[in-house]
């Protein structure tokens, strides 16, 4: 089984976010980038298939050279090879189009993507990728087993869970539940040394055009001052007349 894991290069959630050029560009100075958490759950599950079923695991990213350390981390965790599509990721449709070419050229049986990235939270790429490649699709996937050409999945739905079986080729939008946080892997020294020798192939983009454009960014309003109230009647009055909460 050939598995492709899509890796997004995203800011660490502890990073301080700023914008430049009149709030039209994201300021990357001083920002630590990591593997998108939803993708990391998927990568860890892919490693299970590699170790238990002998699957091959490639990782792919759409982005510039600055994303290569993130791909190298995925290689250090245990992926066999990496692919970087040499173009900035501008919107979900453009990314899906570029990934579709990689999937079709590689003949992958299973594509594991995170259900969304934590920077833009678009949640579009896995579904569009499945549509572009003609593969089956399961989103919000929290469990995945593969037996031969049949995949059994569990996904979250409103108010519960849904169990479904489908055939390969398959694209999933994964999240926590594919593995638990305690199962996530930290690259060890041996993995880091081996990652330096594994192939990281740079491929040129197809030239897919973006369908959307970010016009400007705006930070959330800062939190207001805290007001301490020790009188119940005053609290009710403030909630009713000032906060408009009741």
CATH number for 151: 3.40.50.620
In a domain, 225, yes or no: no
The pLDDT assigned to 61 comes to: 97
**Per-residue pLDDT at 223 exceeds 90:** no
- Range of the structural domain that residue 29 is part of: 2-217
3-state secondary structure of 45: helix
What does the alpha-carbon distance between residue 166 and residue 140 come to, in Å, rounded to a whole number?
Answer: 15
Q: What is the mean pLDDT of residues 69-91?
A: 96
Nearest to 85 by CA among 168, 221, 219, 202: 202
pLDDT of 97-149, one tens digit each? 999 999 999 999 999 999 999 988 889 999 999 999 999 999 999 999 999 99
The pLDDT assigned to 98 comes to: 97
Alpha helix positions (H), 157-244? 189-195, 232-241
In a domain, 226, yes or no: no
The pLDDT assigned to 214 comes to: 86
Confidence of residue 151 (pLDDT cuts 50, 70, 90): very high
What does the alpha-carbon distance between residue 178 and residue 45 come to, in Å, rounded to a whole number?
Answer: 6
**Per-residue pLDDT at 60 exceeds 90:** yes
Alpha helix positions (H), 54-177? 68-77, 92-106, 125-133
In a domain, 246, yes or no: no
Confidence of residue 221 (pLDDT cuts 50, 70, 90): confident
Q: What is the mean pLDDT of residues 51-55?
A: 95
Confidence of residue 85 (pLDDT cuts 50, 70, 90): very high
> What residues are paired with 152 via a beta bridge?
145, 165
Domain total in the chain: 1
Name the DSSP letter for residue 171.
E
**Per-residue pLDDT at 219 exceeds 90:** no
In a domain, 39, yes or no: yes
In a domain, 139, yes or no: yes
What does the alpha-carbon distance between residue 49 and residue 51 come to, in Å, rounded to a whole number?
Answer: 6
**Per-residue pLDDT at 35 exceeds 90:** yes
In a domain, 223, yes or no: no
Share of the chain above pLDDT 70, in %: 100
In a domain, 191, yes or no: yes
In a domain, 155, yes or no: yes
């Amino acid at each position: 089984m050939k598995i492709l894991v899509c890796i997004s290069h995203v800011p660490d959630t502890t990073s301080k976010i700023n914008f430049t050029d009149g709030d039209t560009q994201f300021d990357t100075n001083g920002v630590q980038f990591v593997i998108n958490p939803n993708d990391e759950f998927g990568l860890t599950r892919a490693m299970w298939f590699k170790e238990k079923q002998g699957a091959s695991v490639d990782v792919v990213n759409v982005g510039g050279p600055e994303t290569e350390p993130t791909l190298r981390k995925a290689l250090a965790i245990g992926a066999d090879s990496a692919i970087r599509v040499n173009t900035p990721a501008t919107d979900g449709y453009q990314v899906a189009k570029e990934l579709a070419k990689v999937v079709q050229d590689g003949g992958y049986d299973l594509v594991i993507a995170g259900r969304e990235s934590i920077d833009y939270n678009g949640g579009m790429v896995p579904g569009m990728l499945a549509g572009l490649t003609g593969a089956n699709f399961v989103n919000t996937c929290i469990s995945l087993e593969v037996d031969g050409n049949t995949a059994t999945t569990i996904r979250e739905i409103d108010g519960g869970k849904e169990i479904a079986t489908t055939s390969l080729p398959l694209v999933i939008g994964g999240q926590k539940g594919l593995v638990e946080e305690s199962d996530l892997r930290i690259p060890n020294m041996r993995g880091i040394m081996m990652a330096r020798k594994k192939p990281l192939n740079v491929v040129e983009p197809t030239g897919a055009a973006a369908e959307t454009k970010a016009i400007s960014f705006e930070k959330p309003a800062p939190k207001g001052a805290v007001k301490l109230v020790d009188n119940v009647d005053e609290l009710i009055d403030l909630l009713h007349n000032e906060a408009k909460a009741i």
